[in-house]
């Protein structure tokens, strides 16, 4: 190898190392649309309808610059009331993140009927008694006192600023990049795949996850279940790139999933309420009232 080639190689290697170091140092300052350019390119054509695509492009613009006034694209249906992805009679439902506000869980129980089942998953010990009391008359409800994760074990759980609140929608698993630490306790973690197997749950038709930022890790622990049963999905987004990760994850497990992205109220200047929905059993995209 000539001296010139060696020098050129050293220069190229140095530039690469410095570029990588710069990316690590300034990663948080790189605009969203550049930081996630590959994910945006891969995910943008995987959505099932024009409304979802409009929300997608709005979300990219919103997260790229919070100072820009990006119009809202609120859905004309309520959260978890998607006309294409919905609970059917006799469904077996995973309700991850029950919280003390059991209104949605009760709705699931009514929608699936007495021949369906709702499996609630909630780790917060301060709301468990209220959940049990409020749902004691529903024989087809079963509560699991865990936090969903990508592996079994123990995890730190933050009860938030008001730990004794029986509703406490702000309690969450402690994640490296999420919120300050306030009232920390230890909770049991479990993979959904393992929970399904250990409790001999023989089918899963619908999975709802609203677990305050732990959805990505919980999905990793749900791969076998989703691949086996192809359940409908409703996944709440808490981090800016969640909607991209959810879309790509779902498509990687089964490309036949029809995927929808919706924006729901409320929202703020720094946060918007996005939910990713997906279904395989409504392949024709037929609205609920035509089912």
Residue pLDDT, tens place only, 195-229:
999 999 999 999 999 998 899 999 999 999 999 99
- pLDDT tens profile 17-35: 444 444 444 445 578 889 9
pTM: 0.86
Q: CA geometry: angle at 209 spanning 203 and 213, to 5°?
A: 145
Task: Tell which wins on pLDDT, 271 or 137.
Answer: 137
> What is the enclosing helix (H) or strand (E) of 126?
helix 125-134
In the numeric block, the tokens 């109220």 are attached to 265
Q: What is the mean pLDDT of the chain?
A: 86
| Predicted local confidence at residue 25, as pLDDT | 42
Mean pLDDT to the nearest integer, 258-264: 97
| Predicted local confidence at residue 177, as pLDDT | 54
| Predicted local confidence at residue 23, as pLDDT | 47
- The closest of 122, 117, 120, 94 to 229, measured between CA atoms, is 94
Q: From its phi and psi, is residue 285 left (phi > 0), alpha (psi between -120 and 50) or beta?
A: left
Mean pLDDT to the nearest integer, 238-246: 95
Supply 251's token pair.
């498509």
Mean pLDDT to the nearest integer, 154-179: 68
CA distances from 221 to 166, 218, 256 (A): 28, 5, 21
- pLDDT tens profile 95-121: 999 977 899 999 999 999 999 999 999
Mean pLDDT to the nearest integer, 171-200: 83
Please give the backbone phi and psi of residue 266, each rounded to the nearest 5 degrees, phi first: -90, 175
Confidence of residue 267 (pLDDT cuts 50, 70, 90): confident
Q: Which residues contact 69 (CB under 8 A, 6 or more apart)?
A: none
Q: What is the distance between the alpha carbons of residues 88 and 108, in angstroms, rounded to a whole number?
A: 9
Beta bridge partners of 96: 121, 209
Task: Choose the most confident range, by mean pLDDT, from 55-69, 121-135, 242-256.
Answer: 242-256
| Predicted local confidence at residue 26, as pLDDT | 42
Mean pLDDT to the nearest integer, 48-56: 96
Confidence of residue 88 (pLDDT cuts 50, 70, 90): very high
Lowest-confidence pick of 41-45, 146-150, 165-169: 165-169
Q: Helix, strand or coil for residue 30?
A: coil
Check whether the bond before 266 is cis (ω within 30° of 0).
yes
Q: What is the distance between the alpha carbons of residues 231 and 224, in angstroms, rounded to a whole number?
A: 11
| Predicted local confidence at residue 104, as pLDDT | 93
| Predicted local confidence at residue 24, as pLDDT | 45
Task: Report percent pLDDT > 70 for the chain.
Answer: 80
Burial class, 184, CB count within 10 angstroms (exposed 0-12 / middle 13-18 / buried 19+): exposed
């Amino acid at each position: 190898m000539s001296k010139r080639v060696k020098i050129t190689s050293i220069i190229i290697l140095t530039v690469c190392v410095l570029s990588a170091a710069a990316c690590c140092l300034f990663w948080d300052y790189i605009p969203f649309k550049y930081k996630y350019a590959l994910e945006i390119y891969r995910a943008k054509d995987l959505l099932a309808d024009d409304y979802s695509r409009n929300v997608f492009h709005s979300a990219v613009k919103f997260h790229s610059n919070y100072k820009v006034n990006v119009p809202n694209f609120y859905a004309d249906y309520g959260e978890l009331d998607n006309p294409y992805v919905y609970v059917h009679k006799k469904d077996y439902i995973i309700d991850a993140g029950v919280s003390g506000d059991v209104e949605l869980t009760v709705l699931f129980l009514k929608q699936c009927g007495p021949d369906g089942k709702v499996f609630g998953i909630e780790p917060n010990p301060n709301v468990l008694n209220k959940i049990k009391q409020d749902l004691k008359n529903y024989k087809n409800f079963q509560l699991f006192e865990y936090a969903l994760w990508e592996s079994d074990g123990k995890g730190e759980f933050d009860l938030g600023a008001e730990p004794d609140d029986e509703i406490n929608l702000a309690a969450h698993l402690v994640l490296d990049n999420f919120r300050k630490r306030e009232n920390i306790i230890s909770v049991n973690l479990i993979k959904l795949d393992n929970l399904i197997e250990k409790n001999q749950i023989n089918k899963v038709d619908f999975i709802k996850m609203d677990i305050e930022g732990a959805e990505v890790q919980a999905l990793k622990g749900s791969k076998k279940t989703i691949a086996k049963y192809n359940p409908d999905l409703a996944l709440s987004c808490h981090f800016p790139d969640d909607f991209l990760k959810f879309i790509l994850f779902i498509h990687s497990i089964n490309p036949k999933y029809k995927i929808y992205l919706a924006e729901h109220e409320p929202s703020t200047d720094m946060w918007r309420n996005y939910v990713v929905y997906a279904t395989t059993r409504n392949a024709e995209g037929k609205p609920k009232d035509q089912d």
